[in-house]
Amino acid sequence: MKGLSVSKAVTALMLAGLVLLPLYSYLSGNVFILTLFTRIVILALAAASLNLIMGFGGMMSFGHAAYLGIGGYAVGMLAQEGVGSGFIQFPVALAASAIYALVIGALSLRTRGVYFIMITLAFAQMAYYVASGLARYGGDDGLTVYKRSDFSGLINLSNRTQFYYLCLACLFGVIFLIWRIVNSRFGLVVQGLRSNEQRMQAIGFPAKRYQLVCFVISGTMCGLAGALLANNTDFVSPAVMYWTRSGDLMVMVILGGMGTLLGPVMGAVVYLLLEEFLSQITEYWALIMGPLLLLIVLFGRGGIMGLLGRAGRG
Amino acid sequence: MAEPLLRVEKLVRRFGGIVATDHVSLDVASGELHAIIGPNGAGKTTLISQLTGHLAPHAGSVSLGGRDITYLPAYRRCALGLARSFQITSLLLDFTAADNVALAAQAHAGTSFRFFANARKEKGLRAAAHAALDRVGLAHRADVLVSKLSHGERRQIELAVALASKPKLLLLDEPMAGLGVTESQGMVKLLQELRKEVSIVLVEHDMPAVFALADRISVLVYGRVIASGNPDAIRANEDVKRAYLGDQHVVTHHG
């Protein structure tokens, strides 16, 4: 019980911090921290979506950054073609991500284990090279988004605070949805399949159908993160789809705690803050980050959430 | 006799040059407990796997209630009323006993493409799970993670999971495997109760149990059925004695 309360307290503190951050930024005059945390919140959303298939569904997708790119390019390409309305851009970003997930998932889910990891990686790299080849949309150099998505006065994405709260609302919304899904009939089936596919087939569940739907839900959620990210950076390039970015997302999930509701958020906050902090100290920050992550993965089974749980129990 | 519940006709399955199932035919009548015995390597598990749909036969047919199910995938057979237990316990270890059983009930109670409502709060599913657990005498362990349960208890959960799908036919692959003497006796008693409600195909090494429970016994040797009949007939059968005398004396001993 006490273990639960420690991790709960830290989680609550983190969430309160995220909600109050713009206030701190305003009072201290530190604008940079708001920009930094907008990025953290968006990538936390992406990590949370990955956690749905990886942590709860047991599907180790190594190509999740592809959706960041697809969502981002949907916004960027539409903006370039003169369609500036967010009411069109965002639905298109989500739909494109869902369709990509449906096709990739249908093909990838024929495989298991390492092959699944490799095939999702391969597809994401294909998406990366396709984006690099889009000469009209900047190719390798990427595409500048000159005007952020326009929600006709409802919310102004160019206002830092408003945009931050939009991202945060999206994150909380997605976490809420994942919470409901995980405890629903569907969620129990997906987690059952992670645990023992043979048993689930034997009691009458066709595995692939459920896993594919889960894969599509996750991809769509990450597409939302992509659309937000393009607005945040006013720029989208093939680099957001590169495999190292997929790796970053996986690290955030594992670091925070796979299969926990708020672990990925914790993971994203810690990982990106560490990256920011260490890269200010030395340009060889990866040399410190690497072993640090290794330690957490080796000794903190269940990631930060697992550590907090054990710390509470003493 | 009416149409048998399960009819297996001239089933053949080869692994390379070895014929693991060699033109096996057998009928299971509704309400019957049909045991399949045979020495190690006789092809019992291969046969069961073809009945459950985990392995496709090379020839022959399997039908359930008059419907051809030879090439249906496992989950479809389950929907038609075929449930199985595994020889090596196969459960969701990180789920509670109740969750394991409730999922089996869920598979047979409407669609599972429901994304919002809390499935653990569905009274119907919980009640079904509780009833099945109660049936095997494990209601008091409902909220314990399966990974924390003993081997014997897991064997009972296997049975509860199979029961929760309200099957017409239960395929039990060595339910006594690894059980102690008292646990085995408990299992026999339980099966004696269950057979009143559901038809059962029982694959088992425990000869006293088989002879105490079965209406009919089929003896499988090298993939072929060498004898099929009631326990007395099997006990008296010369071919069966010969087949078993090589490695085991169980039939003559306990018979």
Share of chain B above pLDDT 90, in %: 65
* Contact criterion met (CB < 8 Å) for A183 and B78: no
Amino acid, single-letter form, for residue A112? R
Among chain A, residues having any CB pair with chain B shorter than 8 Å are 180-181, 183-189, 191-192, 195-196, 198-206, 210, 213
pLDDT band at A293 (very low <50, low <70, confident <90, very high): confident
Q: Does B124 touch chain A (CB under 8 A)?
A: no
The three state secondary structure string of B5-53 is: CEEEEEEEEEECCEEEEEEEEEEECCCCEEEEECCCCCCHHHHHHHHHC
Task: Please report the ipTM that was assigned to this predicted complex.
Answer: 0.87
Q: Tell me the per-residue pLDDT of B110-130, one tens digit each, with 9 for 90 and over.
A: 899 999 999 999 999 999 999
A-chain residues near B103 (CB < 8 A) = 188-189, 192, 200, 203, 205
C-alpha radius of gyration, chain B, whole number: 18
Domain boundaries, chain A: 2-313
Q: Which domains does chain B have, with CATH numbers?
A: 1-81+169-255 (3.40.50.300), 95-166 (no CATH)
Mean pLDDT of A284-309: 85
Q: Does B123 touch chain A (CB under 8 A)?
A: no
Best A199, A212, A217, A220 member to test B by mutation, with max B CBs in 10 Å, is A199
Residue A3, pLDDT > 60, answer no
Mean pLDDT of A30-49: 96
The neighbour count for residue A221, using CB atoms within 10 Å, is 27
The three state secondary structure string of A68-122 is: HHHHHHHHHHHHHCCCCEHHHHHHHHHHHHHHHHHHHHHHHCCCCHHHHHHHHHH
Q: Residue B107 is nearest to which of A180, A198, A203, comparing CB atoms?
A: A203
Q: Tell me the per-residue pLDDT of B141-187, one tens digit each, with 9 for 90 and over.
A: 999 999 999 999 999 999 999 999 889 999 999 888 888 888 888 89
* Contact criterion met (CB < 8 Å) for B114 and A196: no
A-chain residues near B122 (CB < 8 A) = 185
A-chain residues near B91 (CB < 8 A) = 196, 199
Q: Tell me the per-residue pLDDT of A164-178, one tens digit each, with 9 for 90 and over.
A: 999 999 999 999 999
pLDDT at B39: 86
Mean pLDDT of A139-148: 94
* Contact criterion met (CB < 8 Å) for A203 and B165: yes
pTM of the predicted model, to two decimals? 0.90
pLDDT at B255: 37
Q: Residue A204 is nearest to which of B54, B86, B108, comparing CB atoms?
A: B108
Angle formed by the axes of helices A285-299 and A263-281, to 10°? 150
* Contact criterion met (CB < 8 Å) for B93 and A187: no
pLDDT band at B252 (very low <50, low <70, confident <90, very high): very low
pLDDT at A148: 95
* B 96-115 near A (Cβ less than 8 A): 99, 103-104, 106-108, 111-115
Share of chain A above pLDDT 70, in %: 98
DSSP class per residue in chain A: -HHHHHHHHHHHHHHHHHHHHHHHHHHHT-HHHHHHHHHHHHHHHHHHHHHIIIIIT----S-THHHHHHHHHHHHHHHHTT--BHHHHHHHHHHHHHHHHHHHHHHHTTS-HHHHHHHHHHHHHHHHHHHHT-GGGTGGG-EE--S--B-TTS--TTSHHHHHHHHHHHHHHHHHHHHHHHHSHHHHHHHHHHH-HHHHHHTT--HHHHHHHHHHHHHHHHHHHHHHHHHHHTEE-GGGGSHHHHHHHHHHHHHH-TT-SSHHHHHHHHHHHHHHHHHHH-TTHHHHHHHHHHHHHHH-TTHHHHHHHHHHH-
Cα distance from A199 to chain B (closest Cα, Å)?
6
* Contact criterion met (CB < 8 Å) for A202 and B119: no
Q: What residues does B224 pair with on adjacent strands? A: B221
Residue B250, pLDDT > 60, answer no
Distance CA A198, CA A192 (A): 10
Q: Residue B119 is nearest to which of A188, A200, A210, comparing CB atoms?
A: A188
Third-level CATH fold of A2-313: ABC transporter involved in vitamin B12 uptake, BtuC (1.10.3470)
Q: Tell me the per-residue pLDDT of B12-34, one tens digit each, with 9 for 90 and over.
A: 999 988 999 999 999 999 999 99
